[in-house]
A and B are shown apart, each in its own frame.
Chain A
Amino acid sequence: GIQVEQSPPDLILQEGANSTLRCNFSDSVNNLQWFHQNPWGQLINLFYIPSGTKQNGRLSATTVATERYSLLYISSSQTTDSGVYFCAVERDDKIIFGKGTRLHILP
């Protein structure tokens, strides 16, 4: 099956810093989503981005489907950005999540 790898596994940054999270997948996929799981466990839908680039405020994402990766950019980090960021891919009706990147923003 498709392997989804996220990097880095853990990231600690000072408030105000920028960060780039990466999601690699081992085969072509139909869809890709980025989620933020807050400290209370809630999974928030950030981007639905099978290809191209999208932006929403301080967050943006780019998926290069032909090269099998997606990037999530967080600019001017805030403490509320802390949590785990997951990417999930879909192919052949199967949805596979990566193990996530745990982001900790220090005040």
Chain B
Amino acid sequence: ETGVTQTPRHLVMGMTNKKSLKCEQHLGHNAMYWYKQSAKKPLELMFVYNFKEQTENNSVPSRFSPECPNSSHLFLHLHTLQPEDSALYLCASSQVQASDYEQYFGPGTRLTVT
């Protein structure tokens, strides 16, 4: 596969469930990102990992827990979510060198919390 892949593409979960979103990039990039896109809101940057180290956490609730085991994989672990967490979750990657931050996005996971 090429580019950035995300699984699952759709997820319905109850508020007491625990699930994980997976992102994999096949571009040889060294930075990965999680974004949240809610209805009628701009894209919100949630987490940034550079060289597997978390460099940004934009005041995201602790019910969202990221994990970056290597520069190609990024997970978002979900537990005790709320209905307002229903959104499209997008993963992106980039090769961060000098001042280059060109991002490539995966297809997203559409999450519904019931």
B-binding residues in A (CB < 8 A)? 30-31, 33, 35, 40-45, 48, 86, 88, 90, 93-95, 97-100
Of residues 58 through 114 on chain B, the ones whose CB sits less than 8 Å from some CB of chain A are 88, 90, 92, 99-105, 107-108, 110
CB atoms of A95 and B101 under 8 A apart: yes
Q: Select from chain B the residue with minimum beta-carbon distance to A89.
A: B101
Minimum distance in angstroms from A39 CB to a CB of chain B: 12
Of residues 19 through 77 on chain B, the ones whose CB sits less than 8 Å from some CB of chain A are 33, 37, 42-43, 45, 48, 55-56
CB atoms of A43 and B105 under 8 A apart: yes
Question: Which label, helix, strand, loop or mixed, suits the secondary structure of the A interface?
Answer: strand
Question: Which label, helix, strand, loop or mixed, suits the secondary structure of the B interface?
Answer: strand
- Collect the chain B residues with CB atoms within 8 Å of residue A45's CB: 102-105
A41-B110, A43-B105, A43-B108 are known; give 7 further A-B pairs, CB within 8 A. Answer: A45-B102, A45-B104, A48-B102, A90-B101, A94-B45, A97-B43, A98-B42
